[in-house]
Amino acid sequence: MKVEEVVLPGVGRKFTITVQSGDRLVIVVHHSGKREVQYFEAGEEDEPAMALDLTDEEAREIGAILAGVLFHPEAVGDTQSKLSEKVIEWIKVLPGSKLAGKRVEDLYLPPGAHVLAVDRPGAPLLPHPGPGVVLEVGDTLVVAGSREAVEAFKRNL
């Protein structure tokens, strides 16, 4: 896969992603948060086979789906997605947990660990939650990073 990034002055950034088959996705991220997605079949340079406009919220939700944040098998127990030396952990906020009532900005995140999302029952997914988001009992915190950093985060809970 090849990714090219171009700054579009006054507009935002354009990402051109070419996959193994030669097909391309062109994604324009506007400063306003709007996303334009165009799909070009291999060898087609002028007219996209598909074009889609997304709001910022829609784009983040699709990104979370593609990153594997929304779907994780429950039957496996502690779910880990191995990406070479990287892991994704889904951590449930249980009653009495140190996480309950904490803001995202107050979490001790070792270098190399990142909060990807907060999945709150009955609410839309909160991808890339802001620092002021307060964790509630029942939430699932999605944390990714190096195995060492994520394990250190979990040990401090």
Residue-wise pLDDT for 60-119, tens only, equals 888 877 877 666 545 444 444 444 577 888 999 999 999 999 999 999 899 999 999 999
Would you tell me how many other CB atoms lie within 10 Å of the CB of residue 2?
9
Across 11-30, average pLDDT = 94
Specify the pLDDT at position 72: 56
**Confidence check: pLDDT of 57 > 90:** no
* pLDDT over 90 percentage in the chain: 57
Instruction: Give the DSSP H or E segment for 154.
Output: helix 147-155
**Torsional class of 70: left (φ above 0), alpha (ψ -120 to 50), beta (otherwise):** alpha
Rounded to 5 degrees, what are φ and ψ at 131? Answer: -60, -25
Specify the pLDDT at position 82: 45
Mean pLDDT of the chain: 86
Across 117-134, average pLDDT = 90
Cα separation, 137 vs 104, in Å, equals 14
